[in-house]
Amino acid sequence: MGGTHGNELTGIHLVKQSQKEMLGENYESFSLDYLIANESAIKANQRYIDVDLNRCFKLADLNDSTLTGKESKLAKSINQKFGPKGNSKTDFIIDLHTSTANMQTNIVITRTDLFHLQLASYLKQVLPDVTVTSEAELMEDHHFLESIAPNGVLIEIGPIPQGCIEYACYEKTQSATRACLDFIELFNIDSLPSFTDTLNTQSYYSKIHFPTDDNDDICASVHPSLIGKAYPKLNKGDPIFKRFDGADILYDGEPTILAFINEAAYYDKKIAMCLCNPINFSLISASKNK
Amino acid sequence: MGGTHGNELTGIHLVKQSQKEMLGENYESFSLDYLIANESAIKANQRYIDVDLNRCFKLADLNDSTLTGKESKLAKSINQKFGPKGNSKTDFIIDLHTSTANMQTNIVITRTDLFHLQLASYLKQVLPDVTVTSEAELMEDHHFLESIAPNGVLIEIGPIPQGCIEYACYEKTQSATRACLDFIELFNIDSLPSFTDTLNTQSYYSKIHFPTDDNDDICASVHPSLIGKAYPKLNKGDPIFKRFDGADILYDGEPTILAFINEAAYYDKKIAMCLCNPINFSLISASKNK
DSSP string, A213-269: -TTS-B-EEE-TTTTT-SS-EE-TTSEEEEETTS-EEE--S--EEEESTT-GGGGGG
What's the average model confidence in pLDDT over B148-166?
Answer: 97
pLDDT on residue B144: 97
Query: Inter-chain contact A161–B100, Cβ cutoff 8 Å?
Result: yes
Q: How far is CA B4 from CA B39, B258, B264, in A?
A: 9, 24, 16
pLDDT-based confidence at residue B181 (cuts at 50, 70, 90):
very high
Instruction: Give me the residue spans of the domains in chain A.
Output: 9-195, 201-277
**Which of B20, B167, B217 is facing A16, going by the closest CB pair?**
B217
Question: Does pLDDT of A138 surpass 80?
Answer: no
Residue B263: closest C-alpha in chain A: A164
When comparing pLDDT for B275 and B140, which is higher?
B275
Is A212 at the interface with chain B, CB within 8 A? no
Question: Does pLDDT of B290 surpass 60?
Answer: no
| Residue A279 distance to chain B (closest CA, Å) | 30
Residue A218: closest C-alpha in chain B: B13
Residue A265: closest C-alpha in chain B: B163
| Residue B184 distance to chain A (closest CA, Å) | 23
Question: Does pLDDT of A260 surpass 60?
Answer: yes
CATH architecture, range A9-195: 3-Layer(aba) Sandwich (3.40)
Residues of B in contact with A244 (CB under 8 A): 13-14, 16-17, 170
Which residue(s) pair with A256 in the sheet? A234
Least confident of A124-138, A184-198, B8-22, B193-207: A124-138
Mutate which: A167, A215, A266, vs B, most B CBs within 10 A: A167
pLDDT on residue B289: 58
d(CA A132, CA A119): 10
Query: Inter-chain contact A267–B227, Cβ cutoff 8 Å?
Result: no
Question: Does pLDDT of A159 surpass 90?
Answer: yes
Residues of A in contact with B45 (CB under 8 A): 46, 267-268
Query: Inter-chain contact A264–B222, Cβ cutoff 8 Å?
Result: no
Out of 2.60.40.10, 3.90.230.10, 3.40.630.10, 2.60.200.20, which CATH number does the structure's domain B9-197 have?
3.40.630.10
What's the average model confidence in pLDDT over A165-186?
Answer: 98
Is A262 at the interface with chain B, CB within 8 A? yes
Mutate which: A23, A39, A100, A164, vs B, most B CBs within 10 A: A164
Query: Inter-chain contact B167–A221, Cβ cutoff 8 Å?
Result: yes
Q: What is the pLDDT of residues A59-100, one digit of tens each?
A: 999 999 999 999 999 999 999 999 999 999 999 999 999 999
Q: Looking at residue B26, what DSSP letter applies?
A: G
ipTM associated with this complex: 0.93
Which residue(s) pair with A241 in the sheet? A222, A249
**Which of B162, B168, B245 is facing A21, going by the closest CB pair?**
B245
Is B100 at the interface with chain A, CB within 8 A? yes
The SS3 assignment for B171 reads helix
Residues of B in contact with A101 (CB under 8 A): none
What's the average model confidence in pLDDT over B12-31?
Answer: 97
